[in-house]
């Protein structure tokens, strides 16, 4: 079993079944969910030999924020379903590992409380049908110290997951943690009319850099930049939105080419090990984000589990870099990979 599979099994053992299924599941037949991890494996490494790798430095920056390794925490919803300390534990574990948290709009803990426990953090934005409500929590996140906004573009409607059999109960206080003013749950639904113009709207509102998450095409990536985005996150939402969508390792090169160094490109989906981190960097990503791995760490050990997951991937990244002949992230260049058989 891989370290990821072992961790997932531990989480399965401690989580109520509906919560585990909500976290683990993907949309439709889960084709894209499976394809994500498989596509990273298809990227073969071409190690360099006879390089001095007695010191390996994994540190880097994302939108100017220094982090210990090019590994961030992806925005995921409702952490209090995994652990009573919820996003507070995630924030603590992330900061202890020298990483950066992307806090979900669907956080089950108040933005201001998470901010107080966090190191550098960004705020993920779902535009809700109630734009006034959206504006309020973007302003709160900005005031609380978010350093960037991440606009998720792939969720006009929440994907249908068969594993979610309707038995997941989200306690009202968790659902409304940041939506106290909400009287009508329907108002918390995603807006289905989000467009490129909303990138400018968010930037005007916050004066923060805006990344767009969920981009899988070069033409969309270019349009995001033209609309004022600072970069994109190549993502298919961990296989939870459009089943059959291209795996992120496959989409990444097209997006990197379209961005052509004019913005930052991050990627997530099926990243499970230091090997995958090095593969992503070699394909042109600045950093990766981990979704489910962090949830499993949180479920099994709270803040310490989040820190452990991140530290293990960081250490694995350093080890893989050393064996591949790269002593810094700048040396993880495209010649380090070739596309093998799937
Ligand atoms: C349980 C769960 C909840 C998620 N919630 C959000 C969310 O609130 N906002 C968002 O932009 N993405 C959300 N995502 C997608 C993640 O940000 C990320 O794209 C995905 O998990 C990466 O794939 P991985 O889980 O294979 O690492 C969620 C993913 C999971 C598994
Ligand atoms: C009505 C709540 C929807 C939350 C969607 C969170 C998410 O992005 C995911 O589960 O995936």
ipTM, two decimals, is 0.99
Q: What are phi and psi of 48, to 5 degrees?
A: -90, 150
Binding site membership of 152 for ligand 1 (Cβ less than 6 Å): yes
Which of the listed residues 39, 71, 75, 267 should we mutate to test ligand 1's pocket, taking the one with most ligand atoms within 8 A of CB? 75
Please, are residues 111 and 75 in contact by the beta-carbon 8 Å criterion?
no
Domain residues for the domain of 231 are 3-334
Examine residue 341 and state whether it is found in any structural domain, yes or no: no
> Of all protein residues, whose CA lies closest to atom 27 belonging to ligand 1?
291
DSSP strand E in 135-204: where? Answer: 149-152
Examine residue 180 and state whether it is found in any structural domain, yes or no: yes
Examine residue 149 and state whether it is found in any structural domain, yes or no: yes
Which of the listed residues 32, 76, 174, 297 should we mutate to test ligand 1's pocket, taking the one with most ligand atoms within 8 A of CB? 76
Examine residue 52 and state whether it is found in any structural domain, yes or no: yes
Averaged pLDDT score across all residues of the chain: 95
Q: How many domains does the chain have?
A: 1
Examine residue 340 and state whether it is found in any structural domain, yes or no: no
> Of all protein residues, whose CA lies closest to atom 28 belonging to ligand 1?
76
Examine residue 27 and state whether it is found in any structural domain, yes or no: yes
Binding site membership of 79 for ligand 2 (Cβ less than 6 Å): no
Provide the Cα torsion 178, 182, 185, 186; round to 10°: -110
Q: Any catalytic annotation for residue 237? A: yes
Examine residue 181 and state whether it is found in any structural domain, yes or no: yes
pLDDT at 172: 83
Q: Which CATH number fits the domain that encloses residue 147? A: 3.20.20.70
DSSP strand E in 22-80: where? Answer: 43-45, 60-62, 65-67, 71-73
Nearest ligand for residue 186 CA: 2
Examine residue 339 and state whether it is found in any structural domain, yes or no: no
Q: Which of 29-33, 246-250, 336-340 has the lowest mean pLDDT?
A: 336-340
- Kindly indicate the confidence band of residue 187, based on its pLDDT and cuts at 50, 70 and 90: low
Please, are residues 147 and 132 in contact by the beta-carbon 8 Å criterion?
no
* Whole-number percent of the chain with pLDDT over 90: 90
């Amino acid at each position: 079993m891989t370290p990821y599979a072992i961790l997932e099994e531990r989480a399965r053992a401690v989580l109520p079944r509906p919560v585990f299924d909500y976290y683990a599941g993907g949309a439709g037949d889960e084709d894209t969910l499976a394809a994500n991890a498989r596509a990273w494996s298809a990227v073969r490494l071409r190690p360099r030999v006879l390089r001095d790798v007695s010191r390996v430095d994994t540190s880097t920056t994302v939108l100017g924020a220094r982090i210990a390794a090019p590994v961030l925490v992806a925005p995921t919803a409702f952490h209090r379903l995994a652990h009573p300390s919820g996003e507070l534990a995630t924030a603590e574990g992330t900061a202890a590992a020298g990483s950066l948290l992307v806090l979900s709009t669907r956080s089950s803990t108040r933005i201001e409380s998470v901010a107080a426990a966090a190191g550098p953090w960004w705020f993920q934005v779902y535009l809700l049908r109630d734009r006034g409500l959206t504006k309020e929590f973007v302003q709160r996140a900005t005031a609380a110290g978010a350093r960037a906004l991440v606009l998720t573009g792939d969720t006009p409607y929440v994907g249908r997951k068969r594993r979610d059999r309707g038995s997941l109960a989200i306690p009202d206080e968790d659902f409304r943690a940041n939506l106290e003013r909400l009287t009508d749950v329907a108002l918390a639904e995603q807006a289905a009319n989000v467009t490129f113009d909303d990138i400018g709207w968010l930037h005007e509102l916050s004066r923060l850099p805006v990344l767009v998450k969920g981009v899988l095409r070069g033409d969309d990536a270019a349009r995001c930049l033209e609309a004022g985005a600072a970069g994109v996150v190549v993502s298919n939402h961990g296989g939870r939105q459009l089943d059959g969508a291209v795996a992120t390792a496959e989409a990444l090169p097209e997006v990197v080419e379209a961005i052509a160094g004019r913005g930052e490109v991050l990627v997530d989906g099926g990243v499970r090990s230091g090997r995958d981190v090095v593969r992503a960097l070699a394909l042109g990503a600045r950093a990766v984000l981990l979704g489910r791995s962090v949830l499993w760490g949180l479920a099994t050990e709270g803040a310490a589990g989040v820190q452990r997951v991140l530290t293990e991937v960081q250490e694995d990244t350093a080890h893989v870099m050393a064996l591949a002949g790269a002593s810094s992230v700048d040396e993880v260049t495209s010649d380090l990979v070739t596309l093998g058989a799937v």
